[in-house]
């Protein structure tokens, strides 16, 4: 497999994780997790310091994955024979991985219309990619 392909997929995955950590910076789920960590560490149920540390860590990981995503995306653009192909792979990977992570971490369901939209996105990307050749 070409190096640019793996790099573009990794870039899309990092973009998906970037979104997850951005959401964890502000969501109520993080409060629930921080309460569990506080209890586990014997610091009481509502320790504000633990919650701030966990939210700060999520924000830092958000920034880190954003940086890595742009570095990988730029590298994929350098390696690939076509920038359109990199965009197609990056966007598709980001879209699909974001859906899986949203389901696994945040229990977000995917309605049937989502699958129709995903199919349209992939089909449109293929058409654009074929036009590029």
| CB 45, CB 35: distance < 8 Å | yes
pLDDT, one tens digit per residue, over 50-79 is 999 999 999 999 999 999 999 999 999 999
pLDDT at 133 over 70: no
- pTM of the full predicted structure? 0.84
Query: Could you tell me the two tokens for 20?
Result: 């997850």
Alpha helices in 27-82 (DSSP H): 28-40, 48-79
pLDDT at 132 over 70: no
| CB 66, CB 18: distance < 8 Å | yes
pLDDT of residue 93: 92
Range of the domain at 37: 3-132
pLDDT at 130 over 80: no
Number of domains in the chain: 1
pLDDT average, residue stretch 92-98? 91
């Amino acid at each position: 497999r070409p190096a640019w392909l793996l790099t573009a997929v990794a870039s899309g995955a990092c973009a998906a994780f970037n979104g997850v950590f951005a959401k964890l910076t502000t969501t109520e789920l993080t409060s629930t997790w921080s309460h569990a960590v506080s209890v586990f560490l014997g610091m009481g149920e509502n320790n504000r310091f633990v919650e701030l540390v966990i939210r700060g860590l999520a924000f830092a990981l958000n920034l880190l994955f954003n940086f890595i995503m742009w570095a990988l995306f730029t590298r994929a653009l350098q390696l690939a024979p076509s920038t359109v192909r990199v965009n197609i792979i990056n966007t598709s990977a980001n879209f699909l991985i974001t859906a899986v992570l949203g389901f696994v971490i945040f229990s977000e369901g995917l309605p049937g219309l989502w699958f129709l939209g995903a199919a349209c996105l992939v089909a449109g990307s293929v058409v654009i990619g074929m036009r590029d050749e």
